[in-house]
Amino acid sequence: MKTQAANKKEMTDKTLRITGSEAIVRSLMAEGVDILYGYPGGAIMPVYDELFKFQDQIHHVLTRHEQGAAHAAQGYARISGKVGVAMATSGPGATNLITGIADAQIDSTPLVCITGQVFSHLLGSDAFQETDIVGISTPVTKWNCQVTKAEDIPAAIAKAFYIARSGRPGPVLVDITKDAQVTEFDFNYKKCEGVRSYNPIPKTSQDAVNAAAALINNAKKPMIVWGQGVILGEAEAELKEVIEKAGIPAAWTILGASALSTSHPLNIGMVGMHGNYAPNKLTNECDVLIAIGMRFDDRVTGRLDAYAKQAKIIHFDIDPAEIDKNVKTDVAVLGNSKESLAMLVEALNENSHESWLQEFKDLYAIEFDKVIKGDLHPTKEGLTMGEVLKQINIETEGNAAIVSDVGQHQMIACRYADFNVTKSNITSGGLGTMGFALPAAIGAKMAAPEREVVAIIGDGGYQMNIQELGTIFQQKAAVKIVVLNNEFLGMVRQWQQLFFDKRYASTEMTNPNFVAIAEGYYIKARKVTKREELAEAVKEMIQSKESYFLEVCVEKEDNVFPMIPSGASVSDVRLS
């Protein structure tokens, strides 16, 4: 049996007479793909036949829904730093990928999605399961194309991988007609090393770095807000050097979490709608705001006309389109964060801002007394979501990868999980996709089997892709699943309570027997309703060598605070 390395050499050094479908599989292997996620169908069946022949070298994971395939590929990409791959047939198979593709686009996740298409002579005829997936996916892909000739397959796939992983990463879709899949041609694979007019990494200007350093060196109240660009650029060490050398308090966006340990003394917490009180409040008191690899999303800024107007704004980013898009910058530093932050470290003076840092500590004390203490050390009878996260921290020592869905539990997970290892917070940030966590956790665990992967999910989002329990069972993926069950669509209910006079329109959930469903998929399961059961149940779950489902019944009408109401300023952050 040939190794994958031998096959790669054969693919690049030797011309083979093969079908387009075999060319697809060989192209994927040449790009180092060892796992892909998908669901077969008529228009992609020739490719699946070839995958069967190469199953000892490339592992196909049959998800239970194409959306699950896209999210699993996202989880794989987010924890590994590699390109995730998803595959589907034409028509509904392709359209079912769209939510995952859109999620990957806004969260800068590198994906290559391959879809089958009807025979080229049928295009435009409304043939069975024909859909214009290129037209549909154009707004939510970094690049896409349709291939109608077998000889064009290798170049299309090579370009797809190059675009997906280079610069600011993102999803790419390649749609391949069935006749292109079955036609033979002379195959030779060459990796793509550049695309005309596409400059994925702008050159970092030393003058811009010097201008940024001058502002920082003279600042009295500097503040850093970093995002996922630090993780994507593998610049965690450089970020830490910048923060420590200049003594700057540093906050993070949801997708930036885990780039710096949550226990670091200069880590001041999360910004945003449900972020920590101090970094939100003091955004409007800093004199220099340094944004690194983040895009000034509306959930971070609140009202733009009242966001950091007193501060000089420095923006480090790889994507020129993000500069001045939402917030006007005084100094823009383009380039890969690893390179630009390394240049910044050299230009910074050693400094400390103890009195400024104390302001953050003082506001944290207020938040602890009014919010955190009740979340983590409750006196009421019902369980809180926060104490579940606290128990998970104890058992995992902050080294687990936390994959959260979307809702109240997501905000609690981001606020209270301990992150000691980078690439540990995997969640749907920009699109806010319910149903993300279960399949994403599968991809994360398969990419990093040595890591503990814990999915934190609400009872609403869990039921959107609950069928992926079948994938967990079939793949024997040791994912730990925690459903925080409050019998509500909790985040919507919170808004209804605060802003709609408690009119809980269509948010109360009548849920099934979650434990019985998990056991139906042969997954060990347990339900916790009392505080005295929690610690032992979480310990049993984490120590399990196999997948495990834990349902925790929490307070039905608990809210997540702090909170910046929609349309309000970051200064208007509420503690109750």
Per annotation, catalytic residue among 50, 66, 452, 468? 66
Active-site residue, 434 included: no
Residue 15 confidence class, pLDDT cut points 50, 70, 90: confident
Active-site residue, 178 included: yes
Q: For residue 19, which phi and psi values (nearest 5 degrees)? A: -80, 165
CB 385 within 8 A of CB 415: no
The answer, yes or no, to whether the previous bond of 320 is cis (omega within 30 of 0) is: no
Question: Above pLDDT 90, what percent of the chain?
Answer: 97
Residue 433 confidence class, pLDDT cut points 50, 70, 90: very high
Active-site residue, 184 included: no
Per annotation, catalytic residue among 10, 45, 82, 129? 129
| In the predicted structure, residue 476 carries a pLDDT above the cut 80 | yes
Give the tens place of pLDDT for each residue, 235-276. 999 999 999 999 999 999 999 999 999 999 999 999 999 999
Average pLDDT for residues 353-363, to the nearest whole number?
A: 98
| In the predicted structure, residue 10 carries a pLDDT above the cut 80 | no
Per annotation, catalytic residue among 8, 159, 178, 221? 178
Q: Assign 221 to helix, strand or coil.
A: coil
Per the structure block, which two tokens stand in for 520? 């139906």
Pairing assessment for the beta strands 222-226 and 143-147 based on DSSP bridges: unpaired
Contacts of 513 (CB under 8 A, 6+ apart): none
At 247 the pLDDT is: 98
Cα(285)–Cα(311) distance, integer angstroms? 8
Cα(142)–Cα(166) distance, integer angstroms? 11
Cα(133)–Cα(39) distance, integer angstroms? 16
Pairing assessment for the beta strands 184-187 and 267-270 based on DSSP bridges: unpaired
Per the structure block, which two tokens stand in for 12? 């690049």
Active-site residue, 129 included: yes
Give the tens place of pLDDT for each residue, 90-148. 999 999 999 999 999 999 999 999 999 999 999 999 999 999 999 999 999 999 999 99
Q: How far is CA 296 from the centre of its chain?
A: 17
For 4-187, which CATH class? alpha beta
Give the tens place of pLDDT for each residue, 65-90. 999 999 999 999 999 999 999 999 99
Pairing assessment for the beta strands 16-19 and 184-187 based on DSSP bridges: antiparallel
Q: How many CA atoms lie within 13 A of 151 on its CB side?
A: 3
Question: Above pLDDT 70, what percent of the chain?
Answer: 98
Cα(290)–Cα(341) distance, integer angstroms? 11
Per annotation, catalytic residue among 29, 411, 464, 491? 491
- Of 106, 107, 128, 110, the C-alpha closest to 119 is 128
- Integer Rg of the chain from CA: 24
Q: Would you give the end-to-end CA distance of the chain in angstroms?
A: 64
Token look-up 């780039």 returns: 259
Give the tens place of pLDDT for each residue, 165-200. 999 999 999 999 999 999 999 999 999 999 999 999
| In the predicted structure, residue 412 carries a pLDDT above the cut 60 | yes
Cα(20)–Cα(47) distance, integer angstroms? 8
Interior CA angle at 397 toward 396 and 398, to 5°? 90
Average pLDDT for residues 419-428, to the nearest whole number?
A: 98
Question: Please, what is the average pLDDT of the chain?
Answer: 96
Query: Counting every residue, how long is the chain?
Result: 576
The CATH topology of domain 381-553 is Rossmann fold (3.40.50)
Q: Hey, where are the domains in the chain?
A: 4-187, 206-360, 381-553
Per annotation, catalytic residue among 128, 309, 358, 508? 128
CATH superfamily, with its number, for domain 206-360:
TPP-binding domain (3.40.50.1220)
Per the structure block, which two tokens stand in for 203? 């050159």
Cα(70)–Cα(66) distance, integer angstroms? 6
Cα(134)–Cα(118) distance, integer angstroms? 13
At 1 the pLDDT is: 46
* Count of Cβ atoms closer than 10 Å to residue 558 Cβ: 23
DSSP state of 259: S
Cα(292)–Cα(210) distance, integer angstroms? 16
Note the pTM of the prediction, 2 decimals. Answer: 0.96
* Count of Cβ atoms closer than 10 Å to residue 486 Cβ: 26
Q: Assign 457 to helix, strand or coil.
A: strand
Active-site residue, 8 included: no
4-187 matches 206-360 in fold? yes
